[in-house]
Amino acid sequence: MGKEELRNELLKALSDAVVDMDEDKTGELAQKVLDEGLNAYDAVMNGLAAGMEIVGDLYDKHEYFVPELLLCADALYAGLDILKPHIKPEDIGESAKGQVVIGTVQGDVHDIGKNIIKMMFEVAGFTVHDLGRDVPLEKFVEEQMRTDSDIVALSAMMTTTMMGMKKVVQMIKEKNPDVAIMLGGAPVTKDVSELFGADGYADSAGNAVQEAIKMISRLREMQK
C-alpha cells in the first residue's frame, strides 16, 4: 500500500472510530499513525476532528443525542492524547500561538457544552485556559488579560445565567476590542449573541463543534 493510500485509510478509520464511539479503536489507530511515520497533526485534523464534524451533523439530524456526543468526545480524546505530543509547531502554523479562555458563567454548573468546545480548541492546537464552571464574571476578564488570549468562550445552559455573559462581553471589549468572544448554550441565539456584542455563538453542543471550527478558521484568516 502506498503512503497516500495508507494515510487515507487511517484517516477514514480514525474518523469512523470517533463516530462509532470506539475509544480503544481510536487509540490503536492513533498509535498506528505514529508507527507508520504519518503526520500527527494531519491525523488529528483530518481524522479525529473530521469524525467529530460528522458527529455534529448526526446530532443536528437527531440521530445522535448528548450521550453519544460525549462518548464520541471520549473516543476523540483517546486518539488526541496519543497524537498531541507528536504534533510539530510548524504543522499548526500561527494558530499554535492561539490561546482561549473558556468557562461556564456564575450561577450555572452545566459544563457539557463547554467541554465539547474546549475539546475542539484543543484539537485545533490552541492552548486552553479552562476556568471550569460557576465562574465569577470578573474572572474571565482577569484571565484574558493575564494570558492575553485571542478568544474568550462563555457558556450558559440556562436563560437565567445568560445575562451574566453580556457583562463579560462588555468588560472584555472595553479593555481589548480585538478579543473574539464566543457564546454558547441552549438559550443563546443569533440575536442574543449580536445584542451582547459577541463574535460567534452556538446553541447546542453539536452546533458548537461547527461554530468552533468556523471561529478557528476565521482567526487563522485574520492571522495570515
- Helices 66-83 and 49-60 cross at an angle (nearest 10°) of 170
Start-to-end CA span in the chain (Å): 36
- How do beta strands 127-130 and 151-155 pair? unpaired
Q: Give the nearer residue to other proteins in terms of CB position, either 11 or 169.
A: 169
Measured from the CB of residue 23, what is the shortest distance to other proteins in angstroms? 10
Measured from the CB of residue 212, what is the shortest distance to other proteins in angstroms? 18
Element (H, E) at 122: helix 112-123
Q: Give the nearer residue to other proteins in terms of CB position, either 28 or 134.
A: 134
Q: Give the nearer residue to other proteins in terms of CB position, either 96 or 112.
A: 112
Q: Give the nearer residue to other proteins in terms of CB position, either 42 or 60.
A: 60
Residue 98 and residue 148 in contact, taking contact as beta carbons nearer than 8 Å = no
Place of cell 468552533: 212
Per CB under 8 A, residues contacting other proteins are 21, 62, 65-68, 70-71, 74, 106-110, 112, 115, 134, 159-164, 186-187, 204
Measured from the CB of residue 201, what is the shortest distance to other proteins in angstroms? 16
Measured from the CB of residue 64, what is the shortest distance to other proteins in angstroms? 8
Element (H, E) at 141: helix 137-147
